[in-house]
Amino acid sequence: MTLATDDIVGEALIRTVQDPGLTPELHALLAEHAVMVPVTRLRADNDGPVASGIVLWKDPSDDTAFVPLFSTAARIPDGCPPTVTFVWDTLKRLTTVLPRAHFRINPAGPVMYDLPSALAHALAHGHSGQGTAPATFPAGGELGLGPPTEDHALLVAALRSYFSRQFASPAVFLYEVHRRRGPETTPALAIGVVSDFDPTIAADIAAIVPEAYVGTLPVDIAFIGGNPEIVDALVHLGLSPTIAARAPRVPQ
């Protein structure tokens, strides 16, 4: 657990809103750093024990109940009741105590970040890549490929930002997959990584997509290093890699 005097998490949150490609780094900070949580301490009667509990807030726009978390005391709004105090705690302990809670980082602004229970639990317990696995492709006529049809400029910028900070980068394609199941065709946007399955890349892209993709299609993360026919088909369609492969830099 890290208790920092500087607002490391809050500053990272602001940077991530500006550049969703930084989402994996933000998630790593949330997993490692303590945050401030409001707690009530009330005495039932003059002789009774002091009861304590974590405070819930409610979003007036949609009645969403959430646990407010603050990256530093400076982010706490004025006007809190005198019965409420703020204590440092970790996401790991909070998700253990409240496994189904919806958390919200710095809900008083200027930038806030939602952590639904599944994501909060995954970050806290080191399973951010849970559910991500190597993609498999239907054979032959069951699969159609094409260029993206929805706005994906923000996603491209985020992926380029993410891979630019890596030691090396595989080539990455963006394309649409049309899976034919009987008379129906199901479209999805695919992020095709030209490498063997890499759980770190898979988890990081899975974190970036919800923050950077503004389209309506489901998004597949596909590792196509072992599927050269997919790469050949994309090139035949005139699609170039969104991100060019980059080998590790040679020390000078």
Return d(Cα 129, Cα 72) in angstroms, integer: 28
DSSP string, 203-230: HHHHHHHHHH--SSS-EEEEE-TT-HHH
Residue 20: count other Cβ atoms within 10 Å of its Cβ: 22
Report the pLDDT value the prediction gives residue 227, as an integer from 0 to 100. Answer: 84
Residue 85: count other Cβ atoms within 10 Å of its Cβ: 14
Where do the domains of the chain lie, and which CATH numbers do they carry?
8-124 (no CATH), 140-236 (3.30.70)
Per-residue pLDDT tens over the stretch 172-191:
999 999 887 767 788 899 99
Return d(Cα 66, Cα 105) in angstroms, integer: 10
Return d(Cα 119, Cα 203) in angstroms, integer: 12
**pTM listed for this prediction:** 0.82
Dihedral angle sign, alpha carbons of residues 82, 87, 90, 94: negative
pLDDT averaged per 10 residues, the chain (length 252): 68 94 94 93 63 85 91 90 90 92 91 91 72 46 82 96 94 90 81 93 94 93 88 92 86 58
SS3 string, 131-164, reads CCCCCCCCCHHHEEEECCCCCCHHHHHHHHHHHH
